[in-house]
Amino acid sequence: MELYKEDLSAVTPNASKQKPKEQAYSFSHKLLYMILACVVLVVGTVATLLCRAQVRYLEQNILADHREIEQLWIDNTLESIRSWQTKSLESIRYVSQAEMFRLFAKDVEFLLNGNPEDLASIAEERDYLVDLLADTAARRGWQTARILSVKGQDVVAPKGLPPVRSEILDLLGRAKKERGAVYSGLYHDQGLILLDVVDPLYEVQSTEEPAIVGFLVTTLPMDELFQAFLAEEHMKDSSYTGKILAQGENCVKVVQLVGGKPALLSDCIAVPQSIPFDRRPSFGDKSVNAAEVYSLGSHFSLPPWYVVIECSASAIDAIKAKNAREIYLLGVVGSLAVALFFAMILGTWIVRHKAKEEQKCIGGLVHAIECALDGSDAKFRYLQGRSQKVARLSSRLGKLMKLSGQAMENIQLAARLSQVGKIFVPRDIMIKRGLLTDEERRQVQLAPYHAYNVLKGVLPKRVARIVYQMGGKVVDNPETGANHELTVKEMLLEARVLLVANDFCAMVSQRGTRPPLPIADARKKLEGRALYDKMVVDAINSISDKEIKELLDAPLEEGDV
C-alpha cells in the first residue's frame, strides 16, 4: 500500500484538517486583471485605428485600380473611334472631293438658277453618276449616299430613297457655316442604328475661299461599329459595362449592348460637362431602384459623343467588405497576440512576485518551527540544532552529486523541517531515558506521518513527500503504527540524500544515554544497509572528517584532515 504516493488525511487531533482558504481574487489577481484590461483597451483602440486607416488605404487602392482599368478601356475605345472617324472621313471625302461630282454639282446649280428645263441635257451624265455613287456606297458599306444642291434638292440620288429629312436640311446649314463635315444624331431606321454625315462639295476652280456647290450626304450603319466598340471581351470582367452617350434626333441617348447587341435606348438623359471617376447612378437607368456604379467618361469632339464605362458599385463594395473583414480579423488576432504577450510578461512578474512573497512566508514559518524545536523545553533537547546540521550536510552532499538548483532548494527546505513531526510525539516519550515500549515506539514512528499531514497543505507537495520518505519508512496503518521500509527506487532522490544525512547526524550526536558514535563507525553503519543509496554514501565518504565536523559544528580533534 503505497501511501507515500498519495495525499493522506490527518489522523491526529493536532494536525490541521482544513486547507488554507484560497481567495478567489487576491490583490495580485485584481491588479493583473486591471492591467490586462487596460492593455486590451489600449491595444484594441490602437488596432482599431490602424485597421481603419488600412481599410481606407486599401479602399483607395481598390478604387484607383478600377479607375485605371476604366481609363485604359476609355483610352482604347477613343483610339478606336478616332481611327474609325479618320477612315470614314477619308472614304467620304474620296467622293466629295472627286472632280466629276463637284463639276456636275456646279452644272446643276447653274442650270437650276437659269432654265431648269435644261437639266434634261445632262440626264445621261446624271444616270452615270447615280450608278457610280450607288456602287461606291455599296463597296464602302454605307447605308445610302446622295448629293444635294446648296438648297437641299437632290442632284445625284439613287431611285427609291425617301425624301430629304428636315434634320438633314439643318445639317446643311451647319456644314455651310462650319465649311466641313458635320454629323447628325443617332436614330433608328429599319431596325438599324444610323448616322448621317454631311460634307460640302466645293467648286473646282475658285478663289482662295471656294464656293460650296453641293453636299454629299452619307448614311452610315453603326451597329457593327458599336458592337466592336462595346465588345464584352474587352472588359476585365462582367461587372463592367461600356456605353456611348450620343446625340439623338432630339436629345442625348445611350448606346449599350443589350443581349449582346448594340441598342439605342429611347430615354433621354442629362449629361454633365465632365464625367470624372465617381460613384453615381447608372446612365440610362431610369428605374426607381437605379443601380449605382463607379463610372468614368471622356468626351469625343467629332462626332460629339461621351465614351463611358461603368462598374457595378455592389461588386466593388463586396471586394472592399472582404478586404475589411480580413484586415479586422488580422487586427483581432494581432491584438490578442499582443495582449497575450503582455499578459505573459505581467503574469510572469506577478507569479515571481507572489512566489517571493510565498517564499518569505514559508521562510518565516520554517524559522518559527525551528525556533520551536530549538526552544528551552526539555522535550526538544536532543533536537536542538539538528535541522540546521542536516541542512548543511545534505547541501554539501547535493553539491557533490551535482543536483539541480530546484532539488537543492527542496533538500534545504525539507531538511529544516525534518524534525517537525516530533512535535506530535508526547513529551514524556521525547524526554524518556532508556528503552521505549512498543506503543511509545509506534508514537515515534508516526512522526514523519504527522509531519506529512501538516506540511502538505502549506508547502509544495514534493517537499512534504521528501520529509515523509526521509525516514525510510511509510505508515501502512496509522492506528497500529504498522509500516514498511521503502526501497531506494521507491524514494525520491532528495529523500535519499536526507535519509543518509539525517541518520548520519543522529549517529554522531548524543541520543539519550547513548554517546555519539565516532565518524568512522558511522561511515561503516551507512555501508551496511541496503536502504541507503550507494551514490549518496559514496558522496558522504568523500568528505573528510574535518569538513564533516565543521558542517556539524562539532569540535575538531587532533589528527582530523
Quickly count: other Cβ atoms within 10 Å of residue 120's Cβ.
10
For residues 381 and 378, give the distance between their C-alpha atoms in angstroms, rounded to a whole number: 5
What pLDDT is attached to residue 512?
A: 60
pTM (predicted TM-score): 0.58
Q: Which pLDDT band holds residue 7 (cuts at 50, 70, 90)?
A: very low
Check whether residue 408 and residue 305 sit in a common domain: no
Domain boundary among 260, 283, 315: 315
For the cut 70, the answer to whether the pLDDT of residue 550 exceeds it is: yes
pLDDT at residue 308 in the model: 92
Residue 192 lies in a domain: yes
Burial 75-97 (b: 16+ CB within 10 A, else e): eebbebbeeebeebbebbeebbe
Q: Which range, 43-47, 123-127, 244-248, 462-466, is most confident?
A: 462-466
Question: Any idea what the CATH number is for the domain that residue 478 is in?
Answer: 1.10.3210.10
Question: Which one of 315, 334, 365 terminates a domain?
Answer: 315
Which of the two residues, 122 and 47, has the higher pLDDT score? 47
Which CB contacts under 8 angstroms, 24+ apart, belong to 405-413? 407/493, 407/494, 410/460, 410/462, 410/463, 410/466, 410/494, 411/466, 411/494, 411/497, 411/498, 413/362, 413/366, 413/459, 413/463
Same domain, 135 and 276: yes
CB 252 within 8 A of CB 246: yes
Determine contact, residues 553/385, Cβ cutoff 8 Å: yes
Residue 372 confidence (pLDDT) = 58
pLDDT band at 270 (very low <50, low <70, confident <90, very high): confident
Number of domains the chain contains: 2
Pairing of strands 154-156, 252-258: unpaired
Q: Which helix (H) or strand (E) holds 306?
A: strand 305-312
pLDDT of residue 382: 56
Average pLDDT over residues 288-309: 85
Burial of residue 371, with CB atoms counted within 10 A of its CB: 0-12 exposed, 13-18 middle, 19 or more buried: exposed
Of residues 442 and 178, which shows the higher confidence score?
A: 178
| Residue 219: pLDDT over 90 | yes
The verdict on 265 and 385 lying in the same domain is no
pLDDT-based confidence at residue 388 (cuts at 50, 70, 90): confident
Answer yes or no: is pLDDT of 399 > 70: yes
336: pLDDT confidence band, cut at 50, 70 and 90? confident
Q: What is the pLDDT of residues 467-491, one digit of tens each?
A: 888 878 887 777 777 778 888 888 9
**Residue 437 covered by a domain:** yes
- Calculate what percentage of the chain has a pLDDT beyond 90: 18
Instruction: Say whether 144 sits in a helix, a strand or coil.
Output: strand
Average confidence (pLDDT) over 184-212: 86
Q: Mark whether 306 and 411 lie in a shared domain.
A: no
Split at pLDDT 50, 70, 90, the class of 556 is very low
Q: Which of 273, 297, 315 is the last residue of a domain?
A: 315
Q: What percent of the chain has pLDDT over 70?
A: 82
Residue 393, pLDDT above cutoff 80:
yes
Q: Which domain holds residue 533?
A: 381-552
Domain match, 181 and 69 both: yes
Is 214 inside any structural domain?
yes
Who's near 183: CB < 8 A, 6+ residues apart? 195, 196, 197, 302, 303, 304
- Lowest-pLDDT range of 233-237, 403-407, 445-449: 233-237
Predicted confidence (pLDDT) at residue 3 exceeds the cutoff of 50:
no
Q: What is the DSSP letter of 143?
A: S
Residue 85's CATH number? 3.30.450.20
- On whether residue 34 sits in a domain, the answer given is no
Q: Could you tell me if residue 558 is inside a domain? A: no
User: What is the model's pLDDT at position 123?
Assistant: 74
Mean of the per-residue pLDDT values of the chain: 80
Q: Decide if pLDDT at 115 tops 70.
A: no
Is residue 287 domain-resident? yes
CA-nearest of 240, 303, 233 to 92 is: 303
